[in-house]
């Protein structure tokens, strides 16, 4: 077993860190304060190839292996989780789904522009009444001769207000339950498609979040991604990749917490000595380092399996569960190391905590990850409880 990165992976990681320190870090605090989605920065991410890293070069991507993609996401996550969200949604959820399930026509139409950052995409699965139980979604797609008419609502959709294309998951036949689900590539300029901004978030304030309304949105037959009945499989395969990306970003948060805490603890003095001299402060830093390294190894394992095309749903859930929870714990510890200074945004650690918090909720909550891991271990599906007896 070789745990070292290749020279090329090392280079990818170092250049991503340099890019993020130069381009993202200086803008993170102001974008967070202003709740501003930084479209210009998103375009820059596309320009440097960070929005389509694992997508084939045939469609405008960089054709990188999944571990290399994870290394880039780690650095973006270290700099700003709002920007990491752009990378995760665009690359893992949108481009990854189109590349895997799309026709040649769909791939050529959307992927080059998405990879370049010229267009943004969003992933519309969650609805006001269906979150964890995604298969119960109510958005309805009805046939209209050659095409489809889609009506329904989507909730909490990242990039929803700024995307040019939306992956919309919809039910084609409620009697078929999850076998009736389908996914559509809907241009957001289509009549009947409208969005509303969601504000007041605890964190990810510089990330765009929307509710979507679809009112008899007419699309052609070529908008269908995959086949009717593939919707649930498309959503689950997308989330397998999205979870990996979220986990990698959380390793970046943990790493940022360690660096900020070491820097602060070696500079700040109390009782005449640097904070770093106190054993209890070192213990907090050591706890962060252990969590960061464990999270990183779990992400590397999942990335390695993905790169080799091997099954990885359980390993990805393990990485997502551990890394997201670790990022919350590390950010909380980092604030503690900073004392009162950690409670304001002169330092990045309070933003790390606010931004980390959502990662245990989206792309499958921590409870859902545990149910996936438990199901793999026992063969029992505890996701849907038995109906209570009267
Ligand atoms: C900032 C933000 C961005 C998002 N971006 C997107 C996006 O781009 N696209 C998209 O489609 N969605 C997005 N989401 C939605 C997100 O994926 C959902 O919030 C998530 O899936 C949880 O669904 P829910 O909020 O409806 O919670 P619920 O499903 O109502 O869960 C509430 C609680 O019940 C628990 N629970 C639910 N079911 C079970 C069970 N079977 N067993 C045990 N516990 C259970 C959950 O773990 C949780 O603790 C985003 C959310 C946020 C906050």
pLDDT digits (tens, 9 = 90+) for 119-165: 999 999 999 999 999 999 999 999 998 899 999 999 999 999 999 99
Residue 66 makes CB contacts below 8 A (sequence gap 6+) with 54, 244, 303, 304, 306, 307
Which residue among 310, 363, 380, 389 is the active-site one?
363
Pocket, ligand 1, Cβ cutoff 6 A: 89, 122-126, 131-132, 156-158, 201, 204, 209, 358, 361-363, 365, 367-368, 371, 383
Alpha helices in the chain (DSSP H): 7-19, 25-34, 39-47, 66-79, 81-87, 96-101, 104-116, 231-267, 279-307, 313-338, 349-357, 366-378
Q: For the whole model, what pTM was predicted?
A: 0.97
Q: Which two tokens stand for residue 323?
A: 């890394």
> In testing the pocket of ligand 1, which one of 122, 361, 364, 371 has its CB within 8 Å of the most ligand atoms?
361
Measured in Å, residue 383 CA sits from the centre of ligand 1 at: 14
Residue length of the chain = 390
Distance CA 292, CA 40 (A): 31
Q: How far is CA 353 from the centre of its chain?
A: 16
pLDDT in tens, 280-338: 999 999 999 999 999 999 999 999 999 999 999 999 999 999 999 999 999 999 999 99
What are phi and psi for residue 187, nearest 5 degrees?
Answer: -65, 130
User: Is 35 part of the annotated catalytic residue set?
Assistant: no
Count Cα atoms within 13 angstroms, Cβ side, for 65. 19
Q: Which protein residue's CA is at the shortest distance from atom 25 of ligand 1? A: 131
List pLDDT tens digits, range 153-198: 999 999 999 999 999 999 999 999 999 999 999 999 999 999 999 9
Q: What is the pLDDT of residue 266?
A: 98
Please choose from 92, 126, 159, 236 the residue to mutate so as to test ligand 1's pocket, defined by most ligand atoms within 8 A of CB: 126
- pLDDT tens-place string over residues 55-67: 999 999 999 999 9
């Amino acid at each position: 077993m070789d745990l070292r990165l290749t020279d090329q992976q090392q280079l990818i990681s170092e250049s991503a860190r340099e890019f993020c320190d130069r381009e993202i870090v200086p803008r993170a605090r102001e974008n967070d304060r202003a709740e501003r989605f930084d479209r210009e920065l998103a375009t820059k991410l596309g320009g440097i190839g960070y929005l389509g890293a694992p997508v084939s070069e045939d469609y405008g991507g960089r054709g990188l292996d999944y571990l290399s993609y994870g290394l880039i996401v780690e650095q973006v996550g270290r700099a700003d989780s709002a920007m990491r969200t752009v990378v995760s949604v665009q690359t893992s959820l949108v481009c990854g789904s189109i590349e895997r399930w799309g026709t040649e026509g769909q791939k050529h139409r959307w992927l080059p522009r998405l990879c370049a950052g010229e267009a943004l995409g969003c992933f519309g699965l969650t609805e006001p009444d269906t979150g964890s139980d995604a298969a119960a979604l109510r958005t309805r797609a009805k046939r209209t001769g050659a095409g489809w008419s889609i009506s329904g609502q989507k909730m909490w959709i990242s990039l929803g207000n700024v995307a040019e294309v939306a992956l919309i998951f919809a039910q084609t036949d409620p009697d078929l339950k999850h076998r009736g689900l389908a996914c559509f590539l809907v241009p957001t300029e289509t009549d009947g498609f409208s969005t509303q901004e969601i504000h007041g978030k605890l964190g990810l304030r510089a990330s765009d979040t929307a509710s979507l309304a679809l009112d008899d949105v007419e699309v052609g037959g070529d908008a269908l991604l995959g086949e009717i009945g593939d919707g649930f499989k498309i959503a689950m395969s997308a989330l397998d990749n999205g979870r990996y990306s979220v986990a990698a970003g959380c390793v970046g948060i943990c790493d940022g917490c360690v660096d900020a805490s070491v820097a602060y603890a070696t500079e700040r003095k109390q009782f005449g000595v640097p904070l770093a001299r106190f054993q209890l402060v070192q213990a907090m830093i050591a706890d962060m380092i252990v969590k960061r390294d464990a999270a990183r190894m779990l992400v590397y394992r999942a990335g390695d399996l993905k790169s080799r095309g091997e099954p990885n749903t359980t390993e990805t859930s393990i990485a997502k569960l551990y890394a997201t929870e670790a990022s919350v714990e590390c950010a909380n510890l980092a604030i503690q190391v900073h004392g009162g200074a950690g409670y304001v945004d002169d330092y990045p650690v309070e933003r790390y905590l606010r931004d980390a918090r959502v990662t245990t909720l989206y792309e499958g909550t921590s409870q859902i990850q545990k149910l996936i891991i438990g199901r793999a271990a026992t063969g029992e599906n505890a996701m849907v409880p038995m109906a209570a007896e009267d």
